[in-house]
Amino acid sequence: MPETTPVLRRLGLWSASAIVVANMIGTGVFSTLSYQVHALPDERAILLLWVLGGLSALAGALCYAELGAGRPRSGGEYMLLTQLFHPAAGFLAGWISVVAGFAGPIAAAALAFAAYFGKLWPPAAQAPTAVALLLVSLISALHLLRVEIGAGFQVITTAFKIMVMLGIVVAALLVAPERALVQTDLAATVFDPAFAVSLVYVTYAYLGWNAALYVAGEVRNPQRNLPLALLASTALVTLLYVAVNWAFLRLVPFADLVRVNPGTMSVENELAVGFLAGRALFGEAGGMIVGGAIAFTLISTVSAMVLAGPRVLAAMADDWRPFAVFGRRHSGGSPRHAIAFQWLLITLLLLTASFEFVVNFIGVSLTLFNIAVIVGFLRERWCEPDRPRPFRAPFGWTAGLLFLALNSWMVVFLTANQPQAVLLSLASIAVAFVGYWPLRHHAPETHR
């Protein structure tokens, strides 16, 4: 086993909850609505998407809470799949989490920030990649300092993020004019393949419900605080998501969310949905104020993922000698080498990928490993019913089967209608396995 600096449990319930909320709330809820509107011109269907996404996230959080309380070690899916199945499964999940679970979402959140910031300062709209790179670099530098500094910043910015979302909902209730719903045949829409494909964007927006497990080894009293952080935060975000999307749909006409270029007939999706909502509420100045507030909340999202992501790599470094350098921590507790490596991956993605590409790749890749963890949860419930469980999830079987049903349905429809996203995810997993094969002799001895 590689030598690593002992990890102190520096994070309390509020910090762990803030990490979950900030990881969840960000790019998806503020930027993907236009993609759903383009595929589903029915407001009721879109709100149903967000309800189903919340149910899926809550079901997954219940299962993860049970697993994490009994295995309070950082690493997320890497740690869980290593112990539930085999080091190979954990290795694959770890590397996909590093790239698709954190580097990809951070890149997408930074691009969304650039879109909002460009509305506030037009010159920035001419160089969105440069703006995104600057944001990621500054936040990464912050988290190179002491863990407590990054955690404190996270609590403050997450509280502000919740206030902004509540403000949008309250303003829509008080100010927005009444108008007729845009609707079609709801039953036919729900069973249309476009509904399942649109669920990918909603699933992407809910990613992060499992974020507390990535820093589980640094959470105080994890048997109590991990389940509380996962479940309470996921429930709160679900309510906020449904309410905010209701507000956006009430404030912003469909025609403003999706525009068709008359010259090329290509669809132009609007990422800065919050800016349009603010403009509908209070005019151009209102758009600037709301857009600025949302831009600040996206800083919180980037910060939360920059904090959590390197912990996966650091957890792998604790088990795999070739990656020992990523497990080293300085006196402030931060895994600096892992943070720097993540910054490099994010930079490569920002320079080479589009927002839509990143979202599709992330959604499919992480869903596949989430499904694998839930299968492991159900398998353990069946094979080891008497295993000590510090937290036993109520309705565990129901939650696990519901999660599998919703997410498998989404993947099946996506495979039929957008196979390139699924194929890319499978190819990435295959590449990770090729990397595992020559390193298999370094697998954790206790799990061989």
Q: Tell me the pLDDT tens digit for each residue of 114-157.
A: 888 888 888 888 888 999 999 999 988 887 776 566 666 767 87
Residue 136 confidence (pLDDT): 93
**185-212 burial, b if ≥16 CB within 10 A, otherwise e?**
eeeebbebebbbbbbbbbbbbbbbbbbb
Q: How far apart are CA 98 and CA 341, in angstroms?
A: 10
Task: Give me the residues paired with residue 98 across strands.
Answer: none
Degrees, nearest 5: CA angle 32-38-39: 100
Q: Which residues of the chain have pLDDT under 50?
A: 1-5, 264-267, 446-448
Residue 236 confidence (pLDDT): 92
- Is the separation of the CB atoms in 306 and 147 below 8 Å? no
Residue 354 confidence (pLDDT): 65
Amino acid at 432: A
Residue 137 confidence (pLDDT): 93
Residue 182 confidence (pLDDT): 66
Whole-model pTM: value is 0.80
Q: How far apart are CA 377 and CA 389, in angstroms?
A: 12
- Is the separation of the CB atoms in 292 and 119 below 8 Å? no
Residue 67 confidence (pLDDT): 93
The helix (H) or strand (E) run that includes residue 267 is strand 267-269
DSSP three-state, residue 42: coil
Q: In degrees rounded to 5, what are phi and psi of residue 363?
A: -55, -45
Amino acid at 265: M
DSSP string, 305-371: HHHHHHHHHHHHHHH-GGGGGGG---TTS--HHHHHHHHHHHHHHHHH--HHHHHHHHHHHHHHHHH
- Is the separation of the CB atoms in 49 and 226 below 8 Å? no
- Is the separation of the CB atoms in 211 and 304 below 8 Å? yes
User: Considering only CA atoms, which of 259, 256, 261, 260 is closest in space to residue 274?
Assistant: 256
Residue 235 confidence (pLDDT): 94
Helix axes 222-251, 147-175, angle to 10 degrees: 30
Residue 277 confidence (pLDDT): 84
Alpha-carbon separation of residue 422 from 88, 228, 427 (angstroms): 21, 33, 9
For 271, the token pair is 């990422």
Q: In degrees rounded to 5, what are phi and psi of residue 380?
A: -70, -40
- Is the separation of the CB atoms in 349 and 357 below 8 Å? no
For 379, the token pair is 């398998």
Q: How far apart are CA 188 and CA 217, in angstroms?
A: 46
User: Considering only CA atoms, which of 201, 165, 169, 203 is closest in space to residue 38?
Assistant: 201
Classify domain 13-435 by CATH number.
1.20.1740.10
Count CB atoms within 10 A of the CB of residue 242: 18
Count CB atoms within 10 A of the CB of residue 219: 25
Residue 121 confidence (pLDDT): 85
Q: Report CA torsion sign: 424, 373, 90, 384.
A: negative
